[in-house]
Chains A and B, each alone.
Chain A
Amino acid sequence: MSIWEYANPKKFIATSTPLVPWVMGLAVAGLVVGLVWGFFFTPDDYRQGSTVKIIYLHVPAALMAINAWFMMLVASLIWLVRRHHVSALAARAAAPIGVVMTLIALLTGAIWGQPMWGTWWAWDPRLTSFLILFLFYLGYIALWEAIDDPDTAADLTSVLCIVGSVFAVLSRYAVRFWNQGLHQGTSVPVATGGRTVDDVFFVPLVICMVAFGLLFVGLVLIRTTTEIRARRMRALEARMRR
């Protein structure tokens, strides 16, 4: 019994299909609890007023935007090394979700920035690197769409994902060099354990972060299953034409 057994598409579908309702149910429950708690049952910040509450969408979306790319990187490596089709399809399935997460993070950031910083957009390192990440996602998806042969597309996008990761990290540090920026530091530093957010805000935030993670997992499972079925249908159609 190894984890690679789930690389078998049939086994993958058989395992993920009963899992999806649970994951999505937990995600929705977590989102409802976390967002309602965050929006209605936390006090207003003494300086930021009620605008602080956008954090419950902004931070989890930004977190998942980065982790989606990371997941695509791991899936691409697995595809290149072990050539499991499910892995390539999972990477493909994750990309549009990552785009939406990046957009949510950018838009909520802009909506929050308008009253707080007095501007919708600033060429701040974090904002800029997110915009670049957004462009990387677009390029990745465009490359998938442009190539007809699925194996070629999987190979090329995997290579692009790996190279893109290196350059995304490089851009991250390059823009910091270029402009010191407006965006505050992280509120939840995992490495040091210290945090600048009070418990009142922190507990619903963590719930939202977990719920966004579950939402991502659930969506990736659904989309991967769809991709597998779509590919099967194409194979069947091709066979029928012969």
Chain B
Amino acid sequence: MIALLKRDLALAVRAGGGFGLGLAFFLIVVVLVPFGVGPEAAVLSRIAPGILWVAALLAALLSLDRIFALDFEDGSLPLLATSPLPLEGVALIKGAAHWITTGLPLTLAAPALGFLLNMAPGAYLWLLLSLALGTPALSMIGTFGAALTVGLRRGGLLMSLLVLPLYVPTLIFGAEAVQRGAAGLPATTPLLMVAGITLGCYALLPFAAAAALRVNLR
């Protein structure tokens, strides 16, 4: 498992593109928002938590199809499936690797982008916490979506349609935690809900993803 994780991380870093691309996309989306809604500081600080969460979600979505597609094309996915490691474990590791290469950098970059949107000072801690707890769920749900569409030729667009509705609960609770933090309210409840969703996703979705992979490799 560790070897697979290391391999995926090395591939993500060395192959170029995937690692920095998500971050750059995150930055661009956030920069585009003021052009769309105007530069008024009050408006921006009001919508900053939601924008940051939606942008993080889209940036995570961008690199999902790479999770299994490359391995599927060069034939290493069937090898992984026949290895002693159960396919559920493979799915779990793939999700974790995706989080380390996209979710973690997004989380760390988000506070810096919060300055651009004039976010309320009280919200930074909650932004960091909620993204740190929430983006792993995004990666795991995305792994499931990638497993569903791995054999398809034009799977990317279809996968967005499948995955984005699944992101709704995480987005609601995550953005709500930051909103409450920005308003100075206690934000523990939505934060706990985000953590619960993440844990539930990592407990259950590897099985669903592995089932989908088995069907696609049949």
Does B117 interact with chain A (Cβ within 8 Å)? no
Q: Does chain A have a CB within 8 A of B20?
A: no
Chain B residues in 8 Å Cβ range of A132: 165, 168
Of A132, A152, A170, the most chain B CB neighbours within 10 A belong to: A170
> Using a Cβ–Cβ cut-off of 8 Å, how many residues does chain B contribute to the interface with A?
29
List of A residues within 8 angstroms of B166 by Cβ: 163-164, 167
CB contacts (< 8 Å) of A177 on chain B: these are 172-173, 176, 190, 193
User: Chain B contacts of A170 at CB under 8 A?
Assistant: 169, 197
B176 to A136, Cβ gap below 8 A?
Answer: no
Residues of A within 8 A of B161 (CB): 135, 138-139, 142
Mark each residue of chain B from 128 to 168: 1 if its CB lies under 8 Å from any CB of chain A, else 0: 00000000000000001000110110110010011011101
A126 to chain B, nearest CB (A): 15
Contact of A178 with B172 at beta-carbon distance under 8 Å, contacts A135-B165, A143-B158, A167-B166 already known: yes
A159 touching B190, Cβ below 8 Å: no
Partner of A171, one of B148, B162, B168, B218: B168
Per the 8 Å Cβ criterion, residues 111-148 of A in contact with B are 132, 135-136, 138-139, 142-143, 146-147
User: Taking A162-B208, A174-B172 as contacts, is the C-beta distance between A156 and B165 under 8 angstroms?
Assistant: no
Residue among B149, B169, B205, B216 with most chain A CB within 10 A: B169
Interface string of B192-218 (1 = CB under 8 A from A): 010001000000110010011001101
What's the minimum C-beta distance from B140 to chain A, rounded to whole angstroms?
11
CA distance A127 to B33 in the complex (A): 27
Chain B binding site: helix, strand, loop or mixed by DSSP? helix
Which residues of chain B are within 8 angstroms of A178 by Cβ–Cβ distance? 172, 176
Q: Which of A136, A146, A164, A171 has the most CB of B within 10 A?
A: A146
A87 to B164 CA separation, bound complex (whole angstroms): 27
Chain A residues positioned under 8 Å from B190 (CB to CB): 177
- Number of A residues contacting the other chain (C-beta, 8 Å)? 25
List of B residues within 8 angstroms of A78 by Cβ: none
**CA separation between A15 and B47, bound complex, in Å?**
58
Contact call B158/A142, Cβ cutoff below 8 A: yes
Distance (whole angstroms) from the CB of A102 to the closest CB of chain B: 13
* Structural contact, A155 and B215, CB atoms closer than 8 A: yes
Given A171-B165, A171-B169, 20 more pairs with CB closer than 8 A: A139-B158, A139-B165, A143-B148, A146-B149, A146-B152, A147-B152, A152-B216, A152-B218, A155-B211, A156-B148, A156-B212, A159-B215, A160-B148, A167-B168, A167-B169, A174-B193, A175-B172, A177-B173, A177-B176, A178-B172
B residues with CB within 8 A of A: 144, 148-149, 151-152, 154-155, 158, 161-162, 164-166, 168-169, 172-173, 176, 190, 193, 197, 204-205, 208, 211-212, 215-216, 218
10 nearest CB pairs, A to B: A174-B169, A155-B215, A135-B165, A174-B172, A170-B169, A139-B162, A171-B168, A139-B161, A167-B166, A178-B172
